[in-house]
Amino acid sequence: NTHLTSVQHVKLCCLMNFRRKNIKKQQCEAVVGAQCGNAVLRGAHVYVPGIVSASSFMKAGDVISVYSDIKGKCKKGAREFDGTKVFLGNGISARSRKEIFSGLCELKGIGIRMTEPIYLSPSFDNVLPGYLFLQNLPSAVVTHVLHPQPGERVLDLCAAPGGKATHIAALMHDQGEVIALDKIPNKVEKIKQNALLLGLNSIKAFCFDGTKALKHKHDMTDKGIFFKYFYIHCIEGPPFSPESFDRILLDAPCSGMGQRPNMACTWTLKEVMSYQPLQRKLFSVAAQLLKPGGMLVYSTCTITLAENEEQVAWEPRIGEEGMMGAGLSLEQLRQLQRFDPSAVPLQDPDQDALRDATAEDMIRLANKDCIGFFIAKFLKWKSTSEKDPQK
C-alpha cells in the first residue's frame, strides 16, 4: 500500500517482524505458501503423516511429508487418511503430534519447517495489515494497465472484495473518486473494510447491480421525479449518467477456470456458458458510462475463449497475444494479455538457479507460474450518447 508507506519501509518491517519471531532467513524462504505450519495448528485441510518409522506418532525433529486434503474430508488429528490429497513437500516437524493437536490456544508458530517445498513463496497472511494486501500477480497487473490518474473519476463495476479498487485508489494517491459496485451486501461491507484498513478515503462503495448502473433518459420524464431521482441517485450513488467516468475497470464475473485446479468442481456446461451473456450486459453498460477518450479495461480470471477473446471480437478492438479462433487478427491478438498456467515447465525448478536469477528472469517466470487471467484494454474514441441505450 504505497499510499501509507514505501516499498523499502515494508521490506524493513518484514525483516524486523521475522526476526522478532526468531525465524531464520532460510526458514522464511522454505515456508510453504499454503501455510502448512499454521494450518496444521488450527486444524485446516492439511494432512501430515509421519514417514520416519512405522509409528503413527510424530515427534519433533521427524522428517515429514505434507499433503493438502483436497475435499476437506480428513478429520483433525487423523493418523491415517486414504482420501484425495496432493503432495505439498517435505519438512521437519518443529512440534510433536501431541503438541500440534492438543488444542491448547497458547500454541503458536510453525508446526512443520518446510525443507523441500513444492511452492517457494513465504506466507504474508496477516503480516503488516494496512501495508500489505495480498493479490495474484495478474490482479495487480490489471490495475496498472488501467493506469488511473490523481483527480479522475474511476468506476470498478464488479469490485468485491476490493483488492483492485483499493489498488486503483493507491495509484491515484487517494486523490479523485473511486466508485466500487457490487450487488451482494456483505461483499460491499468487505470493500469498505479494506478501504478503511488501507487508509483510503477516495473509495465510495455501493450495493448495486452493475447491469443497471446506467441511468436512462426515460427514467426521468416527470420533473418532480427527476429532482428526487437526481438527489438520491446522482449525489449519493448509482445509477450514473452516461459518459461520466474517466476510466472503468470491468473485472467481470466469470467461470474462474484460471484459478488453481479445483478437483472437487461440480459445474455443469450450462453453468460455465452462463457467464458470457452477463459479461456482455456489463460491457455494454461500461461502454456507455465511459467518457469519450476514456479507458475501459476488461479482465477475467478464466481461460475460456468465449469469455475472453470472443468478448473482444464482439465489442470494440484493443485488446498481448490471445488465442486464435475468435476472429481476431494477429495484430489484435498481440494486443491482448493472457496469463496461461499451462505454459509452466513440467520439470521442477532449480532452486540454486532461481537464487541467481535476475529480476527480469523472475518476472518472466512469474508471468507463467500464476493463475490463468485475461486483460484487454479499450480506448473510447467516439461518444455513444446519441445512441439508444436499449439497442
CB burial of residue 375 (10 Å; 0-12, 13-18, 19+): buried
Task: Find out whether 213 is annotated in a ligand binding site.
Answer: no
Q: Smallest Cα–Cα separation from 83: which of 122, 125, 45, 37?
A: 45
Cβ atoms of 130 and 197 within 8 Å: the answer is: yes
Same fold: 18-120 with 137-339+372-380: no
Average pLDDT along the chain, 391 residues, taken 10 residues at a time = 84 65 37 31 42 51 77 68 77 75 62 76 69 86 95 96 95 96 95 94 96 78 48 63 96 87 73 92 94 95 90 59 72 75 53 62 62 89 64 37
The pLDDT, as a whole number, for residue 21 is 47
The pLDDT, as a whole number, for residue 321 is 55
Task: Find out whether 340 is annotated in a ligand binding site.
Answer: no
Task: Find out whether 69 is annotated in a ligand binding site.
Answer: no
**pTM (two decimals):** 0.66
Question: Domain 18-120 class?
Answer: mainly beta
pLDDT one-digit tens code per residue, 208-260? 999 999 997 665 554 444 444 444 444 457 899 999 999 999 999 999 888 86
Half-sphere exposure of 86 (CA within 13 A, CB side): 16
Q: Is 301 a catalytic residue?
A: yes
Pairwise CA distance, residues 159 & 189, whole Å: 11
- The active-site residue out of 36, 254, 301, 370 is 301
Task: Find out whether 162 is annotated in a ligand binding site.
Answer: yes
Pairwise CA distance, residues 390 & 315, whole Å: 16
The pLDDT, as a whole number, for residue 339 is 74
Gyration radius from the chain CA atoms: 24
Task: Find out whether 182 is annotated in a ligand binding site.
Answer: yes
- Domain boundary assignment for the chain: 18-120, 137-339+372-380
Task: Find out whether 388 is annotated in a ligand binding site.
Answer: no
The pLDDT, as a whole number, for residue 206 is 96
Q: Which fold has domain 137-339+372-380?
A: Rossmann fold (3.40.50)
Buried b vs exposed e over 188-205: b needs ≥16 C-beta within 10 Å?
Answer: bbbbeebbebbbbebbbb
Amino acid identity, residue 119? Y
